[in-house]
Amino acid sequence: MKLLIANRGEIALRIQKTARRMSIPVVAVYSYHDRDAQHVLQAGEAVLLPGENLSETYLNIEAILAAAKKTGATAIHPGYGFLSENPLFSEACEREGIAFIGPSAASVRAMGNKIAAREVAVNLGVPVTTGVTGEPDYLLANYDKVGFPMLIKAAAGGGGKGMRIVRTPGELEQALENTSREALNYFGDGTVYIEHFIEGPRHIEIQVLGDKHGNMVHLFERECSAQRRHQKIIEEAPSPALTPEVRKKMGESAVLLASSIDYYSAGTIEFLVDKDLNYYFLEMNTRIQVEHPVTEMTTGVDLVEEQIRIANGEKLRFKQSDLVQKGHAIECRIYAEDPFNNFMPSPGKIYLYREPAGQHIRVDSMEIKGKGMIHSAFDPMIGKLITRGETREDARSLMIHGHSNQYPFPERTGTARFVYPQRHHHPVHRRRTRKSDRTCEKAEGFGRSADSPAGRIAGEP
């Protein structure tokens, strides 16, 4: 196998590390902005994607396939984002005789539309929130079946985009129009639906892994309830809230859902969990997740390696009974954002860079060497700091120590001034929920660390 990684930054480097350990030659692709990036410099070969914008580079299926054929790559790993959940990409790979390290196009399509995915769950008896689908006029005439508060969601949505909470009938019509327009702009599909909004939910997801021989397992859960603007910022495993009984049921539901669409590779079934620990299917992500390291650190399974083996036709090397969770892991995403300006993206130069390191500390990042540049063309998430401990408190304490003692954060990207993250000593069991338009904004166990300033880290997976 010769592997082309159709991505950039920290996930490209993460995949490279596993490929090197498996003695698999790696090909990188890059845009002009990334010509000096570490994912380019550390690859055995690298191919420039001509063009200026994303549609011409990292979203250009033909250009990426041309790079694979030019270098003799026999497999492509899409990482997350970009083309990772585009069924046209996996189909194009198949036509060219190139292995796509991910699920089939049919599985991606089955779960890519949230309305269709809900129907799959309903048919299997997996709980979903009360919802109504249809044209806007139908939704306006039948919203009383859902009740307030309700959530308007884009059928083709993801990444926290295309979502609005509505609390009164007077808001509904305008909210439907705005959400549909946003969905059309982001996803090319303005279809929306409404569902009952659960106040103060937990966002808990189950990692699944299946092969091409019909074997399917789950690797337990990740708690992703600490969010900002509907986007995850802190994740942990295991969830501090689930009982063994609920954990088992959620795992079984996830395996049932994934098996029903003949899924193979790594995937994630996402659920909302209410205060009584009732759970409801939310969506499936048919790719490796940003937060996969907390699962790896608590199960000992390299998910990228398993993806590669599955794409190569191998059977899973373990059964459900072989898998156990050990210890506790926490991940904090690191963003190039301005904490003094509503956490807006903050591109520019990095003048000082120092990473935390030590036992049970893992850093997945872009691995800036010396000075670096954050470009406005890309997502502001530039790295992840992950810590592991025997207990949740051990992992949390190590995270705080790694943040505050190992390196400073830029106060403003592009300046020489720095600010250190503040510690907040709220009890770790206290829930801090803000009443706003955020689906699940609570950083339980972290006080205000969910809104800490963004910084720059790098390291080994």
**Catalytic residue list contains 167:** no
Task: Give the active site residue among 287, 333, 392, 396.
Answer: 287
β-partners of residue 369 are: none
Of the candidates 14, 42, 11, 10, the one whose C-alpha atom is nearest the C-alpha of residue 28 is 42
What type of residue is 439? Answer: T
Of the candidates 277, 119, 125, 283, the one whose C-alpha atom is nearest the C-alpha of residue 198 is 277
pLDDT in tens, 208-219: 999 999 999 999
N residues, the chain: 461
pLDDT in tens, 57-112: 999 999 999 999 999 999 999 999 999 999 999 999 999 999 999 999 999 999 98
pLDDT of residue 402: 64
Token digits for 262? 């003949």
Token digits for 184? 């059309």
* Alpha carbon 52 to its chain's center: 26
pLDDT of residue 159: 64
pLDDT of residue 103: 98
Nearby residues of 260 by Cβ (< 8 Å), 6 or more positions away: 120, 124
- Structural contact between residues 127 and 279, judged by C-beta atoms closer than 8 angstroms: yes
Ramachandran region of residue 336, left (φ > 0), alpha (ψ -120 to 50) or beta? beta
**What average pLDDT values come out for the chain (461 residues) when binned by 10 residues?**
97 98 98 94 97 93 98 98 95 98 96 89 95 88 93 80 90 92 82 91 97 98 92 95 98 98 98 96 96 98 98 98 98 89 86 83 86 81 93 94 54 41 49 36 32 27 31
- Structural contact between residues 371 and 350, judged by C-beta atoms closer than 8 angstroms: yes
Question: What structural domains and CATH numbers belong to the chain?
Answer: 3-101 (3.40.50.20), 130-196 (3.30.1490.20), 202-451 (3.30.470.20)
